Structure 1
């Protein structure tokens, strides 16, 4: 058990999701590793490679020395290039190689978490040579592996765990991005409110309020006169917010009341993951 309670929820959520990932991919035959996932341009193998790669970096392992091919057109910035390195280096690995490396990496990471004695504000490695607090790193690992678990479930047609511990963390992380999406990116007018009503395995209602200066904030109190109300199910919400689907593809699953143009602008800006 981790020393600091503030880290335990993240460790538990991470464990739940990575164990689900290991269980999902263990029985796959070679061809199934090439199935496309909702994560843009990544196959089942690529998603698992990404999980392995980031977890090894959390362990402090050196990054691979590898040159990316020039024809990876989905790699458009330094962050994507950084993440793609751990993926591309494993693109020709066999199914047994993938499952054995995943299992070994998860054993090492679980041991690291059991023996974790650092404080939540300890600075640790982050992408592109940056640093972040241990608490943020563990929170984002819990976020990342739950989203990628869902990528794999979609690709393999094995739905589940939409209400698992990781889902609660994903909800909280995505909600933190809503004020910027509504106020800055979509340009909601000052002194307005936008209501997001989500139902399904994870249910919540949040109001994004834009003040007189155009700054947004989010709270759980309903608004009496919102300029826009978006009602949608949890799966559609996270898939939109994580860039797994475009608004036009799920238009029948999003109910819009109020200013249609602003609603469309909000949905266009809804994807907040890199």
Structure 2
């Protein structure tokens, strides 16, 4: 299997799920707030349409950038430019851009190669671009689904890629954010759509490995949906169901530091 295939197939599956969902939403659904701070369902879809249109070459990417321009300003500009577009227009734009992008990815590139275009001209490889797009699209699909109370796609390719990606970041959470004593270990036991055992063990060198301890200092039991909600920074620990076994203070500190993206 080509190393980029899991990301591309996850992205394709999520785009299909989103494009199937959008026509079923009511006018009220489109204005509902999401867990993405400050964005409605309309804004989330506008964001997806913006980035996919830029990558498909349908839109000039001339927003000013540089060290003084935060990435959030770039993404917000794409949303603001689509404020007056109807839901149907956004869905049509997204479908067209996704179609062009999907066709262009029929032959997969070198993972370490440089794409001709990235959002905001970020210095990414193909591997980074395609993994980021599969994660971003699925996370935003879930933003929409929670906002309109239409759960779904929790065991999809996008769910798999996102959950495993966030799982790889848990040693960073333990080692760099919580910084407990050497030998401290945490296991996340994920249930639901993507069942998984995720581990982190603090080493003597101040770094945490991804080992899964058999008798961890703390075990956190939660669904993979709750895990990704925390990993994406969408809600705080108090807003998800988590069972803490063992050192409760450590568990709460870990849960508070799990956001890897916003």
Fold similarity call, TM over 0.5: yes
Which residue of structure 2 lines up, in the alignment, with residue 62 of structure 1?
60
Task: Identify the match of residue 269 of structure 1 among 254, 257, 262.
Answer: 257
Which residue of structure 2 lines up, in the alignment, with residue 258 of structure 1?
246
Q: Is the 8 A contact 1:183 1:189 kept in 2?
A: no
**Using a 3 Å threshold, how does the CA distance of structure 1 residues 186 and 127 change in structure 2: closer, same or farther?**
farther
Provide the C-alpha distance between the structure 2 equivalents of 1:242 and 1:157, rounded to a whole number of angstroms: 19
Residue 259 of structure 1 deviates from its aligned partner by: 2.2
Provide the C-alpha distance between the structure 2 equivalents of 1:118 and 1:201, rounded to a whole number of angstroms: 30
Residue 185 of structure 1 deviates from its aligned partner by: 0.5
* Cα root mean square deviation, aligned: 1.9
Provide the C-alpha distance between the structure 2 equivalents of 1:81 and 1:208, rounded to a whole number of angstroms: 34
Between the two proteins, the alignment pairs up a number of residues equal to 256
Which residue of structure 2 lines up, in the alignment, with residue 8 of structure 1?
5
Residue 91 of structure 1 deviates from its aligned partner by: 1.5
Q: Is the 8 A contact 2:5 2:108 kept in 1?
A: no
Deviations 1:2-56 (A, max 9, x none): xx71122211111110111111112334332111112221111111111111112
Q: Is the 8 A contact 1:13 1:165 kept in 2?
A: yes
Instruction: Determine whether 1:169 maps to 2:167.
Output: no
Which residue of structure 1 lines up, in the alignment, with residue 16 of structure 2?
19
Q: Is the 8 A contact 2:11 2:138 kept in 1?
A: yes
Provide the C-alpha distance between the structure 1 equivalents of 2:253 and 2:126, rounded to a whole number of angstroms: 35
Residue 65 of structure 1 deviates from its aligned partner by: 5.3
Task: Identify the match of residue 157 of structure 1 among 142, 149, 163.
Answer: 149
Which residue of structure 1 lines up, in the alignment, with residue 49 of structure 2?
52
Deviations 1:195-229 (A, max 9, x none): 1111112111122011111101113x4323x2211
Provide the C-alpha distance between the structure 1 equivalents of 2:156 and 2:75, rounded to a whole number of angstroms: 26
Instruction: Determine whether 1:130 maps to 2:122.
Output: yes
Residue 127 of structure 1 deviates from its aligned partner by: 4.3
Give the gaps of 5 or more residues in structure 1: 67-76
Deviations 1:86-112 (A, max 9, x none): 111112211221122112112211221
Residue 258 of structure 1 deviates from its aligned partner by: 2.2
Give the gaps of 5 or more residues in structure 2: none
Deviations 1:74-130 (A, max 9, x none): xxx71211211111111221122112211211221122112x353121112444433
SS at match of 2:36: coil
Which residue of structure 2 lines up, in the alignment, with residue 89 of structure 1?
81
Task: Identify the match of residue 32 of structure 1 among 18, 29, 32.
Answer: 29
